[in-house]
Amino acid sequence: MELFFVNILDGLVTGLLLFMLCSGLTLIFSMMGVLNFAHASFYMLGAYFAYKISTYTGFWPGLVIAPVLVGIAGALVERYGLRRVHQYGHVPELIFTFGLALLIEEVVQFFFGKNQMAYDEPHILDFTAFTIAGNAFPAYKVFMIFMAMAVFLVLLYILTRTRVGMIIQAALSYPNTVQNLGHNVPLVFMGVFGVGTALAGLAGVIAGPVLGTFPGMAAVLGSIVFVTIVIGGLGSLWGALVASLLIGWLQTFAASYNIVIGDVLMSIGFSKPVNIDDGAFRDLWTLTVSQIGPILPFLLMVLVLAIRPQGLFGKRET
Amino acid sequence: MSVVKKVSAESNTTAPWISASQITPWILAIVFLLILPLIFTSGSALTIMNQMAITIIFALAYNMLLGQGGMLSFGHAVYMGIGGFFCVHLMNMIEYDNLWLPLPFLPLFGGLFGLISAMFIGSFSTSRAGTVFAMISLGVGELIAASSIIVVAFFGGEEGIGGDRTMGPSTFGLDFASQIEVYYLTATWLVISALAMFLFSRTPIGRIANAVRDNEERAEFLGYSQRNVRFISFCASGFFAGIAGGLFAINYEILTEENLNLATSGSILLITFLGGVGFFVGPIIGAIVFTLLQTVLSLYTEIWQLYLGTLFVLTVMFFPFGLTGLIAIHLQPYKLGKISILFRPYLHMVVPAVVCVLSLSSLLEIAFHAKHAAIGEEQMSLFGIGFNSHSFLPWMIVIVLSIGSGWMIRRIAPGLNESWDEANYVEPRV
C-alpha cells in the first residue's frame, strides 16, 4: 500500500511534467493544425540553457531566463521558418519541424558535446520532504508538482478569463473573422508558438536535473509526448492533462511491479509449455511488466485509435 | 472546347504501346548498372553501390506513400525491417532446416512479409491521411522498435539476428560468397522493383492515388473510397520496402533494432525529400546523393550530421521540390531556348557561393575543434592547411571570407533573379 502511494506521487510528477510539454503542443496544434515535431527539442534547449545559466548564477535565474530564451527562439522559428513553409501545406510543415528536431539535436551536440551535463537541482531543495514507509520523497519533486500545477492554473486563467485568452480562443476557430475584426492574427500565432515552446523550455529547466541533461533527452520524451496528445485528443487541453497523468501512472506502476507475464498467464488458466527455451512464444513467458513498461504508451495509443480515433477528449477527427 | 477535342483525339489515335523515349532511360540505367562494377572495382566501392541500390528501392517505396499517395510516414523502416528479419530467419532455415530456397528469390519473400505486415497495420492506419496517419505511423513504428528489444525469439534482442547467405542451393553456379555476385543480384532486384513501381504509378490505381493525395473529398465524390486507395498504396509500398529489407539481409547478413527505429525511418524521409517527392526519379537521386554525401562527409568531418540537418531544413524551406525540382525548373527556359541567358549569372554566382559555403563550414570546423579537441591539442588542418585553432588569424580569415562572400551573393542575387525571370518569360502570342 505504501508503495502504491509512492507510485501515485512519482507518476504525478512524470504526468505533470508531460503535461507541461503537451499543453503547449496541443495549443499550437489546435491553432496552426501542425504538430510541432521539434517540441521536445525546445524542452531540451530549455534544460541546456538553464544549465549554462546555472553555471554563472545558480539555479533560480535560469528558471526564469531559460524559458524566455526558448520562447524567443520558438517565436523566431515560427516567424522565419514555419510561416514560410506554411504556404506549401501541412505535410511540408510537419517535415520542417522534423528536420528542425534533428538540427537542434546536432546543434546542441556541437556546443555541448555528447556527454551528460552536470546540471543539478538547487541546494536549497536538496532535502527529503517526507517519507512514506521508508521511501524518501525529495523536496525537488514537490517543487516540480507545484510548478506544473501553477503553470496549468495560470494557463487556464489566461485562456478562459482574460481578453488575450478570448482572442486566442477565437483565433483558433475563426482566424479570418478575428483578422477582420482588426486583430493581428499572425502575431497571435507567433505569440502562442512562443509561449508553447517556452512552456516546453520550462519543463526542460525543471526536468533537466532529475531526468538528466544530455543530447538524447528530446528523443526519449519526444514520441511519448505525441502519443500523449493523440490519446488525449488532438487540440484538447483537458485531454492532454488526463492522458499525461494516465501515461505518467502507467509508466511508473509498470516500472515498479516486477510481475512475470508467465505467472499472469498461468493464473488465468494457460499452462506453461515444457520446452520453454525454443518455443516461438518463449519471450511471452519470461517477460516482466517492468520490461514492457516502455511500450505500454504506444500500445495504449493504438488501442485508443482503434476504438476512438479522435482520442479520449477530442471533438474532431483531424 | 478545344481542350476536350484534343483529349478525345489523343485517346482515339492508337498510340504505340511503348515508345522509344520511354524505354531509353531504362536501358541506359541497366547498361550503367552492368558496367558500374567494371569502373569502380574496389571492395568499398561495391559496398557503397550495394547500399545505394538498397536505399534506392526503399526510397522509391517510401515515395509511393509520400509523393504519390500524400501519406507522411514516420515509421516506414518497420516494413523494411520486418521483411529483413523474416529473410534472415529464412536464411537460417535454409542453413539448418534444409529448406530449399535459392537465394535470389529471398527478397521476394521479404516483400511478401512486408506486404502482410503492411496489410495488418494499414487496415487501421490508413483510414485518415495527414497528421493522424503520421502520428499512427510514428506510434506503431516506435511500438515495434521498442518491442524488438524485448522479443528476443524473433528480433534477437539488442544484438539482433545474424545469418549466412552462402548456405543455399547454388543458383546458376553462384553461391553469393563474393561482393560482386551480391551486387549483380541487388542490381537485378533494383531494376525489377523500380520498373514495377514505375508501372504501378502508371496504372489506374496509381493515378487515383495521386487524385486522393491532391483532393480526397473530390476523389470520394467520383466514387473512389479514399481509404481503400490509401490502403492499396500502403500495401504496395510495404511490399517493396520488404524487398529492400530482404536485400539488406542478404547484403549485411545481420538485422538489429537499428533497422526498425525512428532514426532509420527519419533518414529515409530525409533522403526522399532531398531528392524531390514530386518526381519518380527524385528518390533515386536523393538516395545516390545522400549515400555519397554521408560516405564522403563522414570521412572528413565529425559534424557531418549537422551539415546534413542544415541541408535538409534549408531544402524544406527554400526548395520543397528537392534536388530534382531544382533541375526540373530549368526545363522551361531550356524549352524556350533561353537557357543560355542563365549561364553568365550562374557563373558569377558560383565563386561567391562556393566560397561562402566553404568558409561557413570552416568556421564551424574551427569552432568545433577549438571547443572539443583534447586539451593541449590545438593544431588542426583544413583543406590541407595546418594551423592553430586557438589562434586569432584563422578565425579572422574565415569570418572575413564568409561575410565577404555573403555580401557578394546579396549583390549578385537581384541580377540573377532578373535573368531568371527573363529566361522564363514566354513571349505573348500575337
Give the three cell numbers for residue B211: 487524385
Place of cell 531509353: B24
Q: How far apart are CA B159 and CA B157, in angstroms?
A: 6
**Geometric angle at alpha carbon B305, from A207 and B61, rounded to 5°:** 105
Cβ of A94 within 8 Å of Cβ of B305? The answer is no
Is it the case that residue B2 has pLDDT exceeding 50?
A: no
Of residues A232, A226, A216, the one with CA closest to residue B137:
A226
Please check whether residues B61 and B142 belong to one and the same domain.
Answer: yes
Cβ of B309 within 8 Å of Cβ of A282? The answer is no
Give the three cell numbers for residue A306: 482503434
Q: Does the residue B110 lie in any domain? A: yes
Q: Does the residue B315 lie in any domain? A: no
On whether any CB of chain A is under 8 Å from the CB of B166, the answer is no
Cβ of A292 within 8 Å of Cβ of B150? The answer is yes
pLDDT of residue A94: 86
Place of cell 500565432: A189
Q: Does the residue B44 lie in any domain? A: yes
Binned at pLDDT 50, 70 and 90, residue B59 comes out as very high
In chain B, the percentage of residues whose pLDDT exceeds 90 is 24
Contacts of B320 in chain A (CB under 8 A): 85, 88, 92
Please check whether residues B186 and B268 belong to one and the same domain.
Answer: yes
CA distance A42 to chain B (A): 16
Query: Which of A110, A113, A298 has its CB closest to that of B306?
Result: A110
Q: How far apart are CA B131 and CA B151, in angstroms?
A: 30
Q: How far apart are CA B112 and CA B381, in angstroms?
A: 51
Place of cell 502519443: A227
Cβ of B364 within 8 Å of Cβ of A110? The answer is yes
Of residues B51, B231, B227, B81, the one with CA closest to residue B151:
B81
Query: Which of A99, A301, A302 has its CB closest to that of B313?
Result: A99
Is it the case that residue B83 has pLDDT exceeding 90?
A: yes
Q: How far apart are CA A254 and CA B146, in angstroms?
A: 15
Q: Nearest chain B Cα to A95, which residue?
A: B316
Q: Which residues contact A3 (CB under 8 A, 6 or more apart)?
A: A133, A135, A256
Is it the case that residue B115 has pLDDT exceeding 90?
A: yes
Binned at pLDDT 50, 70 and 90, residue A318 comes out as very low
Please check whether residues B283 and B388 belong to one and the same domain.
Answer: no
- B426 CB burial (10 A radius; 0-12, 13-18, 19+): exposed
Q: How far apart are CA B41 and CA B46, in angstroms?
A: 7
The strand pairing partners of A213, in sequence order, are A117
Q: Nearest chain A Cα to B313, which residue?
A: A99
Cβ of A99 within 8 Å of Cβ of B270? The answer is yes
Give all strands (DSSP E) within A21-157, no chain letters: 128-132, 135-138
**Geometric angle at alpha carbon A108, from A102 and A113, rounded to 5°:** 120
Please give the distance of CA A117 from its chain centroid, rounded to a whole number: 21
- A176 CB burial (10 A radius; 0-12, 13-18, 19+): exposed
Cβ of A281 within 8 Å of Cβ of B303? The answer is no
pLDDT of residue A276: 60
CATH number at residue B94: 1.10.3470
Interface test with A, best of B97, B124, B132 (most A CBs within 10 A): B132
Condensed to tens digits (0 to 9), the pLDDT of residues A75-122 reads 999 999 888 888 888 888 888 999 999 999 999 998 888 888 888 888
Contacts of A91 in chain B (CB under 8 A): 66, 70, 72, 130
Predicted TM-score (pTM) of the model is 0.87
Q: Nearest chain B Cα to A88, which residue?
A: B320
Please check whether residues B187 and B80 belong to one and the same domain.
Answer: yes
pLDDT of residue A312: 82
The number of distinct structural domains making up chain B is 2
- B259 in Cβ contact with B77 (< 8 Å): yes
Q: How far apart are CA B211 and CA B260, in angstroms?
A: 30
Query: Which of A94, A281, A309 has its CB closest to that of B131?
Result: A94
pLDDT of residue B17: 67
Cβ of A283 within 8 Å of Cβ of B72? The answer is no
pLDDT of residue A71: 94
Condensed to tens digits (0 to 9), the pLDDT of residues A196-248 reads 999 999 999 988 888 888 888 888 888 889 889 888 888 788 888 899 999 99
Q: Which residues contact B255 (CB under 8 A, 6 or more apart)?
A: B81, B84, B85, B88, B156, B160, B161, B245, B248, B249
pLDDT of residue B11: 45
Please check whether residues B154 and B297 belong to one and the same domain.
Answer: yes
Among the residues of A212-260, which ranges form H helices? 217-232, 237-256
Please check whether residues B61 and B106 belong to one and the same domain.
Answer: yes
Q: How far apart are CA B108 and CA B95, in angstroms?
A: 18
Query: Which of A283, A305, A317 has its CB closest to that of B124?
Result: A305
> Which sequence spans correspond to the domains of chain A?
2-256
On whether any CB of chain A is under 8 Å from the CB of B375, the answer is no
The strand pairing partners of A132, in sequence order, are A135
pLDDT of residue B236: 94
φ, ψ dihedrals at A236, nearest 5°: -105, 120
- Please, what's the largest Cα pairwise distance for chain B? 79
pLDDT of residue B8: 44
A/B interface, count of CB pairs below 8 Å: 125
- B148 in Cβ contact with B15 (< 8 Å): no
Residue B15's SS3 state is: coil
Q: Bigger pLDDT: A259 or A51?
A: A51
Q: Which of A168-172, B240-244, B262-266, B275-279 holds the top average pLDDT? A: B240-244
Contacting B residues, span 215-234, partner chain A, CB-CB under 8 Å: none
Binned at pLDDT 50, 70 and 90, residue B288 comes out as very high
Query: Which of B72, B128, B140 has its CB closest to that of A91?
Result: B72
Contacts of B262 in chain A (CB under 8 A): 219, 223
CA distance B291 to chain A (A): 18
Sign of the torsion formed by the C-alpha atoms of B384, B385, B390 and B393: negative
Interface test with B, best of A52, A109, A110, A225 (most B CBs within 10 A): A110
Contacting B residues, span 243-262, partner chain A, CB-CB under 8 Å: 262
Give the three cell numbers for residue B267: 533518414
Condensed to tens digits (0 to 9), the pLDDT of residues B97-113 reads 878 888 888 899 999 99
Cβ of B153 within 8 Å of Cβ of A280? The answer is yes
Contacts of B130 in chain A (CB under 8 A): 90-91, 318
Q: Nearest chain B Cα to A86, which residue?
A: B317
Is it the case that residue B193 has pLDDT exceeding 90?
A: yes
Condensed to tens digits (0 to 9), the pLDDT of residues B362-399 reads 888 888 888 877 777 777 777 777 777 777 888 888 88
Give the three cell numbers for residue A13: 510528477
Q: Does the residue B12 lie in any domain? A: no
On whether any CB of chain A is under 8 Å from the CB of B120, the answer is no
Binned at pLDDT 50, 70 and 90, residue B300 comes out as confident
Of residues A198, A54, A202, A199, the one with CA closest to residue A119:
A54
Q: Which of A27-31, A35-39, A135-139, B424-428 holds the top average pLDDT? A: A35-39
CB atoms within 10 A of CB A58: 13
**A259: alpha, beta or left, given left = phi > 0 and alpha = psi -120 to 50?**
beta
**Geometric angle at alpha carbon A72, from A88 and A231, rounded to 5°:** 60
Cβ of B138 within 8 Å of Cβ of A226? The answer is yes
Cβ of A302 within 8 Å of Cβ of B269? The answer is no
Q: What is residue A129's DSSP assignment?
A: E
φ, ψ dihedrals at B243, nearest 5°: -60, -45
Binned at pLDDT 50, 70 and 90, residue B82 comes out as very high
Q: Bigger pLDDT: A99 or B413?
A: A99
Q: How far apart are CA A198 and CA A152, in angstroms?
A: 14
The chain-wide mean pLDDT, for chain A, equals 84
Q: How far apart are CA B345 and CA B275, in angstroms?
A: 25
Model ipTM value? 0.85
Condensed to tens digits (0 to 9), the pLDDT of residues B122-166 reads 988 888 777 778 888 888 898 898 888 888 878 887 788 888 887
CA distance A148 to chain B (A): 26
Place of cell 532535502: A127
Q: Nearest chain B Cα to A34, which residue?
A: B131
Among the residues of B203-281, which ranges form H helices? 204-214, 216-221, 226-252, 262-275
Is it the case that residue B55 has pLDDT exceeding 90?
A: yes
The chain-wide mean pLDDT, for chain B, equals 85
On whether any CB of chain A is under 8 Å from the CB of B214, the answer is no
Condensed to tens digits (0 to 9), the pLDDT of residues B18-36 reads 777 788 888 888 888 888 8
pLDDT of residue B231: 93
- B291 in Cβ contact with B301 (< 8 Å): no
pLDDT of residue A41: 93
Q: How far apart are CA A220 and CA A207, in angstroms?
A: 13
> Residue B342 sits in which domain range?
331-423
Taking the domain A2-256, which CATH number applies? 1.10.3470
The strand pairing partners of B174, in sequence order, are B171
pLDDT of residue B163: 83
Lowest mean pLDDT among A283-292, B23-32, B193-202: A283-292
CA distance B140 to chain A (A): 7
Q: Does the residue B16 lie in any domain? A: no
CA distance A210 to chain B (A): 23
Please check whether residues B337 and B289 belong to one and the same domain.
Answer: no
CA distance A301 to chain B (A): 7
Q: Nearest chain B Cα to A306, which residue?
A: B124
pLDDT of residue A83: 87
- A253 in Cβ contact with A11 (< 8 Å): yes
**Geometric angle at alpha carbon A58, from A55 and A60, rounded to 5°:** 135
Contacts of A295 in chain B (CB under 8 A): 143, 146-147, 150
Q: How far apart are CA A262 and CA A251, in angstroms?
A: 20
Please check whether residues B134 and B188 belong to one and the same domain.
Answer: yes
CB atoms within 10 A of CB B123: 14
Q: How far apart are CA A303 and CA A315, in angstroms?
A: 18
Interface test with A, best of B136, B264, B317, B371 (most A CBs within 10 A): B317
On whether any CB of chain A is under 8 Å from the CB of B400, the answer is no
**Pairing between strand A135-138 and B379-382?**
unpaired
